[in-house]
Amino acid sequence: MSFQDFCKEGVTPYRPPINESGRIVSAVERHDSRSTHRCKMLSCFIAFSLLASYALQTWWNIWTASNAKSDGDLLKANSFNWSAVKPLSTLDWVECYNKFKCARFSVPLDYSNPGGEKAAVAIIKLPASLSANTDKYGGPVLINPGGPGGSGVGIVLDLGEELQTIIGQQFDVIGFDPRGVGQTTPSFYAFSNKNEAGLFLVDYPAILNSSTESLGRAYAYSNILGTKVAGISRNVTEHLSTPSVARDMLGISRAMGYDKLQYWGFSYGSVLGATFSAMFPDNVGRIVIDGVVDSENYYAGLWSNNLLDADAALLDICSACMNAGPDKCALHESSAELVLQRINNILKDIKLSPIPIFIDRDSVSEYGVVDYAIVKSVILMVLYSTHDSGSMLVDILAALERGDALPWFHMTSGPALRRLLSCDCPVPGHKSPPFQGFLEQFLAIACSDNVIEEETFSPTSNSY
């Protein structure tokens, strides 16, 4: 099925609450009950805790993709000097990453003050196989990978050809880094280097119910992060909202000669697509929103609907295990419920008795601890894509049941923290680059899309 057939013109979008001045009407203004407000505070802590765990398990590949210096890897951004590309209000494409074209698009940092400070949106293009002058040329299709905080430049570098195969070779595949993300400037960061990030993350609780003090520590560390961001990147964080990015997308599309947007957004990208459609209904061409997020729930700051089917998804894995049989599923039982009980028993055991791992390679020792927080976080992450990772989860849980924690080693915080806290030792006259973590970018954008007033810890704790 072609992109044209799949994406029919016209959508019925969710309209986020935007007032006459273009500002989102906050969740606090629309939902003034204290119970709803506390729910939002808890949602932030829960999201922060899960992302902190995720960050420690996956940050290294993400960070090296932004800061490493190898020319051989497309995802290592220093193989192309973005700062050498002059930001313009038109798109002046330059060759980059062998077969791609790159540009920096100048937009107002604050759309209410178009003559003020500018932002430069990093854009990458996988060109269509047809010339833009031919009748069959399909135009640009903008891509957002989700998040919020995902890099559009990164996904096109990594999966651009696959996306173009689905969309059609006659379309340009366009990735862009949203405000505060990746190569778009001004940059957003909370930590001046990876060592500072490591010192912060080492004590942040991975989940809120891992101990009696976890919620309080999460509250305290969340305040620290907010204070740091306000001091370092306040001018940037005030202009990271989804409606601002939607306006950037309209500008990019128009700069390519198209008044109507063609777009494909995944997960949070569905919120961005729905927001664009609500703000600019006359500029909607063909839009695909994939892995749809409940936009109203997102803008309310609740993040509650994301978890509605989590238990059902885990039970689906258990059902697949039961149906696969004992030869293909190491946790096989006669019913899905019994498989689930077996998983719960593993969680209970690991909560009471975490398992240490010690590896000695070439006189260099590495170690970590597999505990309840790690296992619970990995289970939740797998539920995002059970078909891809469900069997892997069952295998490593079965290993844990046997007392073998080695398959979990790279999911523990040990290896990541070792790298975070190691010295880069830059040459004299240079300093380590700022640490751009997905964790901070996610929270900065999500919090820009709703206003959560500060609340003391006691009522939040009581609500939890």
Within a domain: residue 85? yes
Question: Is residue 457 scored above 60 in pLDDT?
Answer: yes
- If asked whether residues 190 and 265 sit together in one domain, one would say yes
pLDDT, residue 424, reads: 64
Query: 13 pLDDT exceeds 70?
Result: no
The model's pLDDT over 283-293, given as tens digits with 9 standing for 90+, comes to 999 999 998 99
Residues 88 and 166 in one domain: yes
- Percentage of the chain surpassing pLDDT 70? 78
Residue 354 lies in a domain: yes
User: How far apart are alpha carbons 239 and 234 in whole angstroms?
Assistant: 9
Q: Which H, E and C letters describe 262-304, residue by residue? A: EEEEECHHHHHHHHHHHHCHHHEEEEEEECCCCHHHHHCCCCC
The stretch 104-129 carries a mean pLDDT of 97
Mean pLDDT computed over 266-273? 96
Does residue 192 sit in the same domain as residue 227?
yes
Residue 464 has pLDDT above 80, yes or no: no
Which of the four pLDDT bands, split at 50, 70 and 90, describes residue 18? very low
pLDDT tens digits for range 20-40: 444 444 333 333 344 444 445
DSSP of 51-98: HHHHHHHHHHHHHHHHH---TT-TT-GGGS-GGGSPPBSS---EEETT
Last residue of a domain, one of 284, 301, 318: 301
Cβ–Cβ under 8 Å, residues 285 and 6: no
Which one-letter amino acid corresponds to residue 268?
Y
Structural domain harbouring 393: 306-404
Higher-confidence residue: 212 or 320? 320
Same domain, 44 and 28: yes
Question: Under a CB-based contact definition with an 8 Å cutoff, are residues 78 and 67 in contact?
Answer: yes
3-state DSSP assignment of residue 317: helix
Which CATH number is 233's domain given? Answer: 3.40.50
Q: What is the pLDDT of residue 11?
A: 35
Judgement on whether residues 297 and 315 belong to the same structural domain of the protein: no
pLDDT at 125: 98
Question: Between β-strands 94-96 and 100-108, what pairing exists: parallel, antiparallel or unpaired?
Answer: antiparallel
Between 251 and 380, residue with greater pLDDT = 251
Does one domain contain both 200 and 121? yes
* Predicted TM-score of the model (pTM): 0.81
Cα 291 to Cα 269, 287, 303, distances in angstroms: 9, 13, 15
**Residue 443 resides in a domain:** no
More reliable by pLDDT, 114 or 428: 114
**Domain-located, residue 86:** yes
Verify that 173 and 274 share a domain, yes or no.
yes
State both tokens at 33. 């009950």
Mean pLDDT of the region 295-319:
90
Residue 328, pLDDT above cutoff 60? yes
Residues 62 and 211 in one domain: yes
Q: Could you tell me if residue 425 is inside a domain? A: no
Q: In this structure, how many other beta carbons lie within 10 angstroms of the beta carbon of residue 161?
A: 12
Same domain, yes or no: 390 and 272: no
pLDDT value of position 2: 39
- How far, in Å, CA of 249 to CA of 29, rounded? 28
The reply to whether 289 and 323 lie within a common domain is no
Half-sphere exposure of 28 (CA within 13 A, CB side): 12
Task: Check whether 261 has a pLDDT greater than 90.
Answer: yes
For residues 43-47, average pLDDT: 53
State whether 222 and 358 are in the same domain.
no
Look at residues 359, 378, 404 and tell me which one is the last residue of a structural domain.
404
State residue 287 phi and psi, 5-degree precision: -130, 130
**Is it the case that residue 17 has pLDDT exceeding 50?**
no
| Domain end among 377, 404, 431 | 404
With CA atoms as reference, report the closest residue to 268 among 294, 300, 305, 231.
Answer: 294
pLDDT of the residue at 26: 38
The more confident residue out of 228 and 138 is 138
- Tell me, yes or no, whether 155 lies in a domain: yes
Residue 178 domain-assigned? Answer: yes
Express each pLDDT in 406-445 by its tens digit: 999 887 766 666 777 777 666 666 666 677 777 788 888 9
Residue 65 included in any domain: yes
Q: Is the pLDDT of residue 69 over 60?
A: no
Are 147 and 285 found together in one domain? yes
**Mean pLDDT on 200-215:** 79
Task: Look at the chain and report how many structural domains it folds into.
Answer: 2
What pLDDT does 350 receive? 95
Q: What's the confidence (pLDDT) of residue 51? A: 52
